[in-house]
Chain A
Amino acid sequence: AQSVTQLDSHVSVSEGTPVLLRCNYSSSYSPSLFWYVQHPNKGLQLLLKYTSAATLVKGINGFEAEFKKSETSFHLTKPSAHMSDAAEYFCVVSDRTTDSWGKLQFGAGTQVVVTP
């Protein structure tokens, strides 16, 4: 079974300051992990993904995430927030098993607000 918990439903940051979005996962197998972003009235866009290669994953728009198996975490960070980063962010897990391939399990989402 797979599940994901996003520890913050809302995060507010000032423009130019670091962003940290926290995610913990549960997986019976070696998981694939993703972060997706959803801007208002837009579709989901993939930011980055981890599939068992390097534990530090770099994504688009300056975001990165680190897979920590011992902590079952996959936190998303960005050194300096931009106004355009205001959106909802989803942490997603998928067990890499025959029955679970393709079934993405989404977290509840973290709404990010960026203030000038």
Chain B
Amino acid sequence: GAGVSQSPSNKVTEKGKDVELRCDPISGHTALYWYRQSLGQGLEFLIYFQGNSAPDKSGLPSDRFSAERTGGSVSTLTIQRTQQEDSAVYLCASSLNTQETQYFGPGTRLLVL
């Protein structure tokens, strides 16, 4: 079956612009996660959604970062007023619930010039 998909695969933007990254989870998965992979920080948790519960935003690095999940399926991660340190690969994962294995998408590579 289809895995987790993310779009775009690559994004180049200018400092100060806003960007939106999209994640389509595996059908039927109620939990969705965002992670960031950067050279300096490695792989770090950002936020997760579980069903209709309030999202756990404890990993978001600043208030410029936000995410939403509409209809319990697709999620969008938004970065406002991008900075060069936001350059990284943004990974999305989904799982049946938070206690089950997370399956990762291919990531969106973001470059902020």
Nearest B-chain residue to A96, judged by Cβ: B99
Interface centre among A34, A45, A103, A108 (most CB of B within 10 A): A103
A-B contacts at CB below 8 angstroms, number: 49
A109 within 8 A of B: yes
Contact call A43/B48, Cβ cutoff below 8 A: no
Contacts of B103 in A (CB 8 A): 46
User: How many residues of chain A get a CB closer than 8 Å to chain B's CBs?
Assistant: 19
A-B contact pairs, 9 of them (CB 8 A): A34-B101, A43-B106, A44-B104, A46-B102, A102-B31, A103-B56, A106-B35, A106-B42, A107-B42
Chain B residues within CB distance 8 Å of chain A: 3-4, 31, 33, 35, 42-45, 48, 50, 56, 58-59, 91, 93, 95, 98-99, 101-107
A: residues with CB less than 8 A from B are 34, 36, 42-46, 49, 90, 96, 101-109
